Amino acid sequence: MAERYAISKVNVPEGAAVPELVKMKMEKEEKLAEEKKQALAAKQKAREEERAKLKERTVAYEKEYADTAAELVKLRREAKLNGNFFVEPEAKLIFVVRIAGIMKMSPKPRKVLQLLRLKQLHNGVFLKVNKPTLNMLKLVQPYVTYGYPSLKTVRELIYKRGFGKVSKQRIPLSSNDIISDALGKHGIHGMEDIIHEIYTVGPNFKQVSNFLWPFKLSSPKGGFVNKRHGYCEARGGDWGNREELINELLGRMN
């Protein structure tokens, strides 16, 4: 807190008689300036420590991602070798994008979209996959498109369009301090921590996902196929679950 003291410089011309109140103010400001200097030094030290730790964690995360990917490859190969079928792990993470506008929305899907924080066209949120969320998505199928984002997509979304909810305001994630202040108590102190928590759907996924303001995406460059129809229909469409292919769409919307 002391780092943010606003110190005002009192300009006293040479040789002028200093009024009593001005003198009091000068003494007060001096003391605050001293406190501020100390606090800034302490903050700097803490910041360096924090950054070193974050760096270690990031390296560990990258290893973790590479390891999990390699593990999957190994298992697939093993299955093929033994003539078995490898059952791909079900997705844990979903990214949902609102496709429909706000006009003429039935009350039930409208409420569900509100609950999912998809209040605007092309808003996107990360969701955990479980029974309740899947059932909610079922209710709003024709108004959203969703799928399983890749690590690259998650990173790009958070770096480019990541904003946090700080005292009910939408604040850009321009510094790790913002993240640390909001999510520090859950052990999340930086961008890479957020990305890890989201991608691996960790124990604090809810807090992190809620901290992230719903992503405001652009309309996709190259367009939609047909928003009125489902992705899986033969004639081509856009709403519903498009599994891995959400990444292609998000690449055009981000």
Partner 1 sequence: MATARPVVSIYNFENPSEKTGTMPMPVVLQSPLRPDLVREVHRDMAKNKRQAYAVKPKAGYDTAAESWCTGRAVARIPRAPGGGTHRAGQAAFGNQARGGGMFNPTTIWRRWHRRVNVTKKRHAVACALAASALPPLVMARGHKINQVAELPLVVSDGIQSLTKTKQAKEALKKLGCGEELQKVIDSKSIRAGQGKARNRRYVKRLGPLVIYNEDNGITRAMRNIPGVECAHVDRLNLLRLAPGGSFGRFVIFTEGAFKKLSDIYGTLKSGAPKKKGYTLPRAAMANADLARIINSTEVQSVLRPKMERYTHGIKRNALKSKELMEELNPGSTERRAVQLKSSQKGTPEYDEVQKKKKARIEESKKYNKEHKKGDETFYKTLMKAFEAKAAADAAKKAAEKADDEEDEE
Judged by CB under 8 A, does residue 149 bind partner 1? no
The number of residues in the chain equals 254
For 158-228, strand residue ranges (E) read: 163-166, 169-172, 215-216
Interface with partner 1 by CB under 8 A: which range of 97-105, 153-161, 203-211, 242-250?
153-161
Q: In what order do the strands lie in the sheet with 144-147?
A: 215-216, 123-128, 93-98, 144-147, 240-241
> Which residues are CB-contacts of 100 (< 8 A; sequence separation ≥ 6)?
121, 142, 143, 144, 227
Question: Which residue is associated with the tokens 């901290």?
Answer: 211
Tell me the C-alpha distance between 200 and 65, whole Å: 9
Q: Is 35 exposed, middle or buried (0-12, 13-18, 19+ CB in 10 A)?
A: middle
Interface with partner 1 by CB under 8 A: which range of 65-73, 135-143, 156-164, 215-223?
156-164
Tell me the C-alpha distance between 191 and 156, whole Å: 11
Which positions from 35 through 64 interact with partner 1, judged by CB under 8 A?
51-52, 54-55, 58-59, 62
User: CB of 25: closest distance to partner 1 in angstroms?
Assistant: 7
User: CB of 204: closest distance to partner 1 in angstroms?
Assistant: 19
Judged by CB under 8 A, does residue 10 bind partner 1? no
* Phi/psi at 156 (5° precision): -65, -40
The CA-based angle 236-239-242, given to 5 degrees, is: 80
Judged by CB under 8 A, does residue 75 bind partner 1? no
Please check whether residue 126 is in contact with residue 198, taking contact to mean a CB–CB distance below 8 angstroms.
yes
Among 105, 139, 171, 225, binds partner 1 (CB under 8 A): 171
User: CB of 241: closest distance to partner 1 in angstroms?
Assistant: 27
Among 159, 203, 236, 244, binds partner 1 (CB under 8 A): 159
Judged by CB under 8 A, does residue 187 bind partner 1? no
Judged by CB under 8 A, does residue 160 bind partner 1? yes
> Could you tell me how far CA 79 lies from the centroid of its own chain?
36
Among 94, 98, 116, 156, binds partner 1 (CB under 8 A): 156
Judged by CB under 8 A, does residue 104 bind partner 1? no
Judged by CB under 8 A, does residue 164 bind partner 1? no
Residues that bind partner 1 (CB under 8 A): 1-2, 4-6, 8, 21, 24-25, 28, 32, 51-52, 54-55, 58-59, 62, 156, 159-160, 163, 171-176, 190-192
